[in-house]
Chains A and B, each alone.
Chain A
Amino acid sequence: MIREIITASSESTKLGVTDSQIASVRTQVEQETAVRVYAGGHAGVASAVGSADVDMLTERARAGLGFQIAYPAQPSADRKSEVSHMGRARSVGELVELTTGVIETLRENFPQYVFGHGLEQSRVGWRIHNDLGLDLSYERMTTQVAFLVKEKGSGSIFDTFVGTEGLDLDAASLIERFSAHLRAFGTPLGPPPSGKQRVVFPGLEGHAGGGLMQLIRSDMLARVVGTKASVFQSQLGTGEQVFSSSLSIQDSRDANRWRIAPFDMEGVVRSAPDHSLVHEGVLGTAVASKRDAVRYGVPATGSGVGELAQLPVTGIGKLVVQPTAERLVDLLDGQPALMPWFVAGGDCTRAGDLGMPCQVLLRVEADGTVSGRYTGCTLSGSIYDALGSDFVGVSEQRLDADSEESFLVTHMSVSS
């Protein structure tokens, strides 16, 4: 029997902002321990939150072997590493000072808005080690600020938001960025131009950019491809040009570039940290955990994800689109564009048709700055066009100095 122990710990301090002032402080401390055991091609797992008796967990995990859960792969072995992305740790007083500095200025300069939510400093860490000489650990400390912004009297629960996450946030920089957004948001422009327009997606996370990547995330998994249920089934492995030749998408575990762990939940460290999902418009290979790789006869890609309490499943972590230009302005061709800042309730059908109801749609000037807010509209189109013939490119430039997200520029149809 092989035993593997996974621990996760977290500590956080959150300042809650209500009605544009700090109204609460919350501290959280938590530790979770999981034990996995492997024997005879089967696996068992047990976990506990809080103080844990590892021997008791081992016994419970061993009892779980009785369920005969197939685990036909070998556990990871013979690798040690420690990686961390540790940002500045502030005391509660320093966090209050930072938050107060930002919120007071915003409140004074933008009295028409009510600010809520808050700032959180968190340290998370996890470690996976086993009887086969595996010992990998990762730790990260970041500070995240997010303000939900409500226009007084708007009737909405909130109208826009500003925020970022970084290793060491700076009040002056936050004020400058948030103010730029709020000035644009507070400058009404009427309805956006209709028809096909140049659109700037602020990153691939969240409802806006996330919609573009929905089918990549759901249908490039070993299980979906292995059961022939992928929408990309007929194109996989054919070398067919599915998307723009400028488009390359990776599932990255590159801890040198991103604040992510370089290993997955099965303790796999990829030989090359980026797995290619799309290369110059041609589909790559599906991602697979070790277990799914055996089950579906595909290569394992170090893509085991999930909670500590469960056996890992296949999933995609950080999606990265290869930059095609240095700056956003290089992708605008001297023309203004539209930026869907806040999309609520959009969806992508299995046929690849996108519908994105934009609650906040900003105008982007040819120099890359945001200047005003159009009335709400729906962006629509096919992902095969948006990432194909209509695709313009992706910037190396990030959304802001702390962000790990780039701008993606394409064309989509606008209807008010």
Chain B
Amino acid sequence: MSQSTIDLGQLEVMFPEDVYADVRFEQTVDHRITLRDGSLEDVLSRVETGALLRVLKDGRWYYASTTDLARIDEQLAELATSDALSPGEPIDMGSLLQMHVEDARIFQDAPVDGVAVADKLALMRRYTSRMERPDVLNWAGHWMDQRRERRFISSLGGDVRHDYQEAGVSVRFSIANGDETLQEMFARAEHRYLELESKTEQYLTELDEHLDKCARFVADAEAVDAGEYPVVLSPQVAGVFAHESFGHKSEADFMLGDPAMLEDWKIGTRIGPDMLSIVDDGAQLGSGWAPFDDEGQRSHKTYLIKDGLLTGRLHAAHTASALGEECTGNARAISFRFEPIVRMTTTWIEPGELSEEDLFGGVKDGFYIESCKHGSGMSTFTIAPSLAWRIKDGKVTEPARIAVITGTVFETMGEIDGLSDTIERPFLLGGGCGKFEQWPLSVGFGGPYVRIRRMSVA
């Protein structure tokens, strides 16, 4: 099943004169294995090699995505002669971008595509063997690994290479008790195959515990009376909250052309309580790993909120230019098919000072949201819980069937009244963030346990 790959370092580009231009080469190698209800369903192996070309001319961008790498110079020349758009505000890329020449690849020592499919299948079967229990009606196990390398070259002299890889297992299953069913999943992933393999026993124990918990949930979960309650979010759900409720609002492209919003979002504006800090950092290992962005800028830790105050926002070159701020290393694209836009990397809420026991102990009658199917963060923030539990007198008790929890984003931020003192950032297998037409982008998120005084529960 081997397929040919090429050395992106050997590719050369002739840039047109008098315009800013860059090329992002990309090569991804994917393997996916699907086991369904005990049968091997599919083995997929795919190599994609392509490039996204950009030319900035008279303040307007001209892009082309291609898999024909032999025609890069020709296509760049065509883009440079385009005049389809009327001129816009000039963008001085030379003053916005820092030129890096660096090979930042870190996964060459153990490429996941070098592991035999048979070994991956055998490891995966260890997880799916746990589905052989009478209350699991059906299941689908997925092995996914991806190795991705990008090389960014610009007419200003930038030349950076970096890589990303992940390998993991996810199992989706339906578990039943009588007529009641629950559809849930379990996933674990690491950057390296050997890391994943070495943690197998630990992860299998976690899978067994998860299945038992789901069985209890489906047997005992009761619908809740809709209303407002105190809510504790798990680190995973807190991460969804940080990403969806606030992170997207920190992406500066949403502020273009809106001076009123810029005024409302002035740096220093109070957003939440003193205990609240939210950070984005592409240099954090995990599913949001992006040491350089797709404009060749080095990622770094950007505080979006620090001590409850608005501290920063995320930029690509064109938004930094428009708003007179600095690039933050957040220009990202899901693949060579698309131009980079402002995106998050790994976003999390920083820890507070409460022990978990004290955090839950502060809730007399509320809910603990352990996992969620999805979340969104427009003016109203919404989470669709999967596993949720009642909290009574500070103790997590019986399972609760909740369709959605909602709250106005800024009111909810203001209602945070407790953060636990440790954080978790789960590795998200296969990415997960969507924006406009670009989905899924590999991102990470997480946080501590977060206690919110009141949210609408239905």
Q: Do chains A and B interact in one complex?
A: yes
**Contact residues in A for B44 (Cβ distance below 8 Å):** 45, 309-310
Q: How far is the CA of A51 from the CA of B67 in the complex (A)?
A: 8
A38 to chain B, nearest CB (A): 14
The reply on B383 being an interface residue by CB < 8 A is yes
Q: Which of A154-162, A177-185, A241-249, A257-265 contacts B (4 or more CB under 8 A)?
A: A154-162
Q: A22-B85, A218-B183 are known contacts; what are 17 more A-B pairs with Cβ within 8 Å?
A: A16-B61, A19-B322, A25-B60, A25-B82, A25-B84, A26-B63, A30-B337, A49-B46, A68-B40, A156-B249, A157-B248, A310-B42, A345-B381, A345-B384, A357-B382, A357-B406, A415-B458
Given A157-B251, A227-B137, A344-B378 contact (CB < 8 Å): yes
The answer to whether A344 and B382 have CB atoms under 8 Å apart is yes
B39 within 8 A of A: yes
Q: Nearest A residue to B249 by beta-carbon distance?
A: A157
Contact B384 A228 (CB under 8 A): no
CB contacts (< 8 Å) of B258 on chain A: these are: 114, 150, 152-153
Q: Which of A152, A155, A224 gathers the greatest number of chain B CB atoms within 10 Å?
A: A155
| Binary CB contact string for chain A from 196 to 221 against chain B (1 if under 8 A, 0 otherwise) | 00000000000000000000001000
**A353's closest neighbor in chain B, by CB?**
B403
Query: Which B positions have Cβ atoms within 8 angstroms of A?
Result: 1, 3, 32, 34, 36-37, 39-50, 60-68, 82, 84-86, 88, 117, 137-138, 174, 176, 179-183, 223, 226, 248-249, 251, 253-254, 256-261, 263-265, 318, 322, 337-339, 373-384, 401, 403-404, 406, 410, 436, 456, 458
Q: Which residues of B contact A50 (CB under 8 A)?
A: 48-50, 67-68
Contact sample, A vs B, 22 pairs, CB 8 Å cutoff? A22-B60, A24-B62, A25-B85, A26-B339, A30-B337, A46-B1, A46-B45, A49-B47, A49-B48, A50-B49, A116-B256, A155-B249, A159-B379, A295-B39, A309-B46, A313-B41, A347-B404, A350-B180, A353-B223, A353-B403, A359-B380, A378-B406
A335 interface residue, CB < 8 Å from B?
no
Q: Is residue A7 within 8 Å, beta carbon to beta carbon, of the partner chain?
A: no
Report the nearest A residue to B64, measured CB to CB.
Answer: A27
Roughly how many angstroms separate A295 CA and B40 CA in the complex, as a whole number? Answer: 12
A residues in contact with B406, CB < 8 Å: 345, 357, 378
Min C-beta distance of A308 to chain B, whole Å:
9
| Neighbour of B181 across the interface among A21, A223, A231, CB < 8 A | A231
Residues B50 and A350 in contact, CB atoms below 8 Å apart: no
Q: Which residue of A lies closest to B383 (CB)?
A: A345
Q: Chain A nearest CB: distance from B171 CB in Å?
A: 15
Interface readout for A133-153 with B: 1 if CB under 8 Å, 0 if not? 000000000000000101011
Task: Judge whether A153 and B261 touch: CB under 8 Å.
Answer: yes
The CB with the most chain A CB atoms within 10 A, among B85, B322, B377, is that of B85
- B374 contacts A29, CB within 8 Å? no
Residues of B within 8 A of A154 (CB): 261, 379
Query: Inside 8 A of A298's CB, which chain B residues have their CB?
Result: none
Q: B179 — nearest CB in chain A belongs to which residue?
A: A234
* Nearest-Cβ distance from residue B265 to partner chain A, whole angstroms: 8
Report Cα–Cα, A378/B408, bound state, in Å: 13
Q: Indicate if the CB atoms of B256 and A29 lie closer than 8 Å.
A: no
Shortest distance between the CB of B193 and any CB in chain A (Å)? 19
- Among the listed B61, B65, B176, which residue makes an inter-chain contact with A24, where contact means beta carbons less than 8 Å apart? B61
Expressed in whole angstroms, the Cα–Cα distance for A48 and B28 within the complex equals 12
Q: A residues within 8 A CB of B88? A: 21, 23
A264 smallest CB distance to B (angstroms): 16
> B384's contact among A64, A223, A233, A346, by CB below 8 Å, is which?
A346
A68 to B259, CA, bound (A): 61
- Number of inter-chain CB pairs below 8 Å: 218
Question: Do A229 and B176 touch across chains, with their CB atoms under 8 A apart?
Answer: yes
A114 in complex: contacting residue of B3, B257, B378, B380, CB < 8 Å:
B257
Write out the residue numbers on chain A whose beta carbons fall within 8 Å of the beta carbon of B65: 26-30
Residue of B nearest to A67 (CB): B43
Say yes or no: B337 contacts A117, CB within 8 Å: no
A70 and B39 within 8 A (CB):
yes
A96 CB to closest chain B CB (Å) equals 6
* Nearest Cβ on chain A to B432's Cβ, whole angstroms: 15
Instruction: State the CA gap A64–B257 with chains docked (Å).
Output: 53
Q: Which of B46, B223, B253, B254 contacts A47 (CB 8 A)?
A: B46
Q: Does A355 contact B (CB under 8 A)?
A: yes
* Interface assignment of A31: CB less than 8 Å from any CB of chain B: yes
Give the residue name and chain of the A residue nearest to B373 (CB): A347
Is A350 within 8 A of B379, CB to CB? Answer: no
Question: Which of chain A's residues has its CB closest to B260's CB?
Answer: A153
Interface: A58 (CB within 8 A): no
**Contact digits for A326-367, partner B, Cβ 8 Å, 1 yes 0 no:** 000000000000000010111111110111010100000000
Nearest Cβ in chain B — how far from A158, in angstroms?
7
Contact A347 B384 (CB under 8 A): yes
A171 within 8 A of B: no
Contact residues in B for A233 (Cβ distance below 8 Å): 179
Closest to A57 in B: B3
Decide yes or no whether A92 CB sits under 8 A from chain B.
Answer: yes
Contact B137 A355 (CB under 8 A): no
> Which of chain A's residues 8-41 have a Cβ closer than 8 Å to chain B?
16, 18-31
Alpha-carbon distance A16/B249, docked complex (angstroms)? 20
Residues of A contacting B410 in the complex (Cβ-Cβ under 8 angstroms)? 155
Q: What per-residue 1/0 map shows which CB atoms of A304-315 lie under 8 Å from chain B? A: 000001110100
Is the pair B379, A156 in contact by a Cβ cutoff of 8 Å? yes
Cα A223 to Cα B181 in complex, Å, equals 15
Asked if A26 contacts B379 (CB within 8 A), the reply is no
Cβ–Cβ < 8 Å partners of B257 in chain A: 18-20, 114, 152
Cβ of B121 to closest chain A Cβ, rounded Å: 8
Asked whether, in the complex, the Cβ of B339 is within 8 Å of the Cβ of A18, the reply is no
Smallest Cβ-Cβ distance to A144: which chain B residue: B437
Query: Which chain B positions have C-beta within 8 A of A302?
Result: none
Q: CB < 8 Å: which of B47, B318, B379, B401 contacts A349?
A: B401
Contact residues of A between 54 and 84, Cβ < 8 Å to B: 60, 63-64, 67-70
Question: CB < 8 Å: which of A27, A357, A376, A380 contacts B63?
Answer: A27
Which has the most chain B C-beta neighbours within 10 Å: A45, A153, A311?
A: A153
| Contact of A93 with B by CB under 8 A | yes
The CA of A227 and the CA of B134, in the complex, are separated in Å by: 12
With beta carbons under 8 angstroms apart, the residue of A26, A345, A357 that contacts B374 is A345
